[in-house]
Amino acid sequence: MVAKTLRVMKILKENGVNLKNIQMIEKGKFTLLSEIQQEGINIEKIIENNDLKRDFQYGMRLMELKETYKGRTKCKITEEERRMAEELGLINSKDIKDKLKSTVSKHVSTNQETRAELARQEKELTGNRENEGEIKDD
């Protein structure tokens, strides 16, 4: 999904389409590739010349790409795809900052959970040793 979406977005950009000016949703539904309108751009010609599907759901795919970038879907994104999305301008700086915060938060949370588990295990072991000492003294 990610690779195909990026391929279509790259083709559009290479053909002069300003990706930042395309609305994800128009008239209450996700924008289709064939519905993209920009001055000086013949979207039908781009579709035909690049063997693209007119009903490619540009808006939905862009939304899914952004969610995948943020790690909010089961879909995976490679570092190369991540860079490409940034270079194409599909991911804004807020999305990048959110991803960094999410990654840092996830690692901090994991570290805290690990520390808590180690402390619990240490307490359990220490408690067992103390109990063994008490039994031997009897």
Domain positions in the chain: 2-91, 92-138
Q: Which residue did the predictor score with more confidence, 114 or 94?
A: 114
pLDDT of 95 over the 70 cut = no
Taken in order 19, 60, 90, 76, is the CA torsion positive or negative?
A: negative
Amino acid 34: pLDDT: 96
DSSP per-residue letters across 18-60: -GGG--SEETTEEPPGGG---TT--HHHHHHHTT--TT--HHH
Amino acid 65: pLDDT: 95
pLDDT of 22 over the 80 cut = yes
Amino acid 59: pLDDT: 94
pLDDT of 132 over the 60 cut = no
pLDDT of 101 over the 60 cut = yes
Amino acid 26: pLDDT: 86
pLDDT of 130 over the 70 cut = no
Q: Which residue did the predictor score with more confidence, 72 or 46?
A: 46
Q: What is the mean pLDDT of the chain?
A: 84
